[in-house]
Amino acid sequence: MDEPDGTDGADGSHGTLTVGTASAAPGERANGWIEATGLPTGGSERLPVTVANGADDGPTLWVTGGVHGDEATGVAVAQDVAAVAADVRADLAGAVVVVPVVNPAGLRRGERTSYYGDDDPNRYFPDTERESSRPPETQERIDSRLFEALESSADLLVDCHTAQVGSMPFTIRDRVLYGEERSEGEAEDLAADLDRLAGALGLPVLTEYPAEEYTEQSLQRSTAGAALNTAGIPAVTAELGGHSVVEEDARRAGVAGVVGAAVEFGLLDAPPEGVDEAGASAPDAPVEYPVRRFVGPRAESAGLVRHRVAVGEAVEAGEAVAEVVTPHGEVVETVESDHDGYLIGRAEGLAVYEGGAVASMAVRDDGDLVVPREPDGE
């Protein structure tokens, strides 16, 4: 195993921060590893981690990336944030912890999932209010070990992802749940810090799916969802363009957004030279009303898709978003938007089947951000 490396820095008013094998005193930077699981061929799966410990006391910001193995820009943003934090650690009040590759098995195979399981690795983080009789398998154990490190030191989390090919950058804000572990008042206080964090990134902000769908999809067990709803740590998901390759505009917007969060919460006084102000390189939302994430609209006919609305363009309910045509080019269906909102990405590929989504949208959201974990009567 590689030894963590660090450089001597100024003495601070807080102590050494250790995450995995990375241990940094105030004013130092250290690289290391978080042990994830053993491998049948010998050795172990390890998650890379960088700790940049500021010279002065303050909050600890965690940045993660690569929980889906093909989301290249998220990995690049996390790596570049680590470099920025290391460069400015003498001016940093607090610490920055970066885990740029949460799913190394998925990265090696160039796919969203790992080979420890073919389902979403971003649905296995702990949920203290949902018990299971099923023993934890490999991916859940990996996620739990990372979560333990995060929960023990993090005050804030930005989890870096990408969306569909051609997607615009945006920030996802999870629903804040209350129930056995958290009162409604405590959830409201947490939601206020969550709003600050989401807004500081300077990207268009989408709230997650409606409350019932949110838990049906186990989004409270995603990286950000578990940090928020299990650990009580303000946490957001930054969706940074399309997958598979690093998109430079989205990378720049992501780095600026994370630095903007560091400024908002007092880790830095201002963005360092060479880093954009948060929002300077990001698109603006084309609507002023609050929005949530929505997958659709969906086609009712099989065929080939012809998109009629650009990503980032506003639409009204009933407006045509795409057409479905036969292999000979004859229109068999006009796909209309179900909601007011705007497109955030198009479905990948030319072919569509019955019930298949042709796009992803930000749609008008009239729901509450703070919601009960269990609906009334359950």
257 and 340 share a domain?
Answer: no
Residue with tokens 């938007």: 337
30 and 137 share a domain?
Answer: yes
Q: Report the 10 Å Cβ neighbour count for 130.
A: 12
pTM for the model? 0.94
How many domains, the chain?
A: 2
Residue type at position 299 = A
Picking from 207, 217, 235, the residue whose alpha carbon sits closest to that of residue 366 is 207
Q: Kindly state the tokens that stand for 48.
A: 């890379």
CATH of the domain at 319: 2.40.50.100
- Is 44 among the domain residues? yes
Q: Kindly state the tokens that stand for 140.
A: 């859940």
- Is 218 among the domain residues? yes
At 303 the pLDDT is: 98
Q: Given pLDDT bands bounded at 50, 70 and 90, which one contains residue 377?
A: very low
- Is 375 among the domain residues? no
Picking from 284, 308, 238, 200, the residue whose alpha carbon sits closest to that of residue 80 is 238
Asked whether the beta carbons of 239 and 161 are under 8 A apart, the reply is yes
Residue 353 CB-density burial (10 A; 0-12 exposed, 13-18 middle, 19+ buried): exposed
Q: Given pLDDT bands bounded at 50, 70 and 90, which one contains residue 360?
A: very high
- Is 357 among the domain residues? yes
- Is 372 among the domain residues? no
Q: Given pLDDT bands bounded at 50, 70 and 90, which one contains residue 133?
A: confident
d(CA 86, CA 6): 10
103 and 246 share a domain?
Answer: yes
Of residues 364 and 376, the one with the higher pLDDT is: 364
pLDDT at 201 over 50: yes
Tens digit of each residue's pLDDT (9 = 90 or more) over 2-58: 333 433 333 344 799 999 999 999 999 999 999 999 999 999 999 999 999 999 999
At 77 the pLDDT is: 98
At 375 the pLDDT is: 64
240 and 152 share a domain?
Answer: yes
At 181 the pLDDT is: 85
199 and 334 share a domain?
Answer: no
At 13 the pLDDT is: 45
At 370 the pLDDT is: 97
187 and 126 share a domain?
Answer: yes
181 and 312 share a domain?
Answer: no
172 and 231 share a domain?
Answer: yes
Q: Report the 10 Å Cβ neighbour count for 277.
A: 13
Rg (CA), the chain: 21
- Is 59 among the domain residues? yes
Of 229, 264, 299, which closes a domain?
264
3-state secondary structure (DSSP) of residue 27: coil
DSSP secondary structure letter of residue 276: P
Tens digit of each residue's pLDDT (9 = 90 or more) over 256-311: 999 999 999 999 999 999 999 998 888 999 999 999 999 999 999 999 999 999 99
CATH of the domain at 81: 3.40.630.10
84 and 147 share a domain?
Answer: yes
Residue 314 CB-density burial (10 A; 0-12 exposed, 13-18 middle, 19+ buried): middle
Give the C-alpha distances (Å, rounded to integers) separating 3 from 22, 37, 47, 55, 319: 8, 18, 14, 23, 58
Tens digit of each residue's pLDDT (9 = 90 or more) over 80-129: 999 999 999 999 999 999 999 999 999 999 999 999 988 999 999 999 77
- Phi, psi angles (nearest 5°) of residue 241: 80, -155
- Is 278 among the domain residues? no
Helix (H) or strand (E) holding 198: helix 184-200
Q: Given pLDDT bands bounded at 50, 70 and 90, which one contains residue 376?
A: low
Task: List the domain range (segments joined by +) for residue 94.
Answer: 5-264
Tens digit of each residue's pLDDT (9 = 90 or more) over 144-197: 999 999 999 999 999 999 998 889 999 999 999 999 889 999 999 999 999 999
14 and 132 share a domain?
Answer: yes
Q: Kindly state the tokens that stand for 18.
A: 């250790």
Mean pLDDT of 232-244: 96
d(CA 76, CA 251): 7
Helices (H) and strands (E) in the chain, counts: 7, 21
Tens digit of each residue's pLDDT (9 = 90 or more) over 300-350: 999 999 999 999 999 999 999 999 999 999 999 999 999 999 999 999 999
45 and 182 share a domain?
Answer: yes
At 4 the pLDDT is: 36
The residue count of the chain comes to 378
Asked whether the beta carbons of 36 and 47 are under 8 A apart, the reply is yes
- Is 281 among the domain residues? no
- Phi, psi angles (nearest 5°) of residue 325: -120, 160
126 and 25 share a domain?
Answer: yes
At 12 the pLDDT is: 40
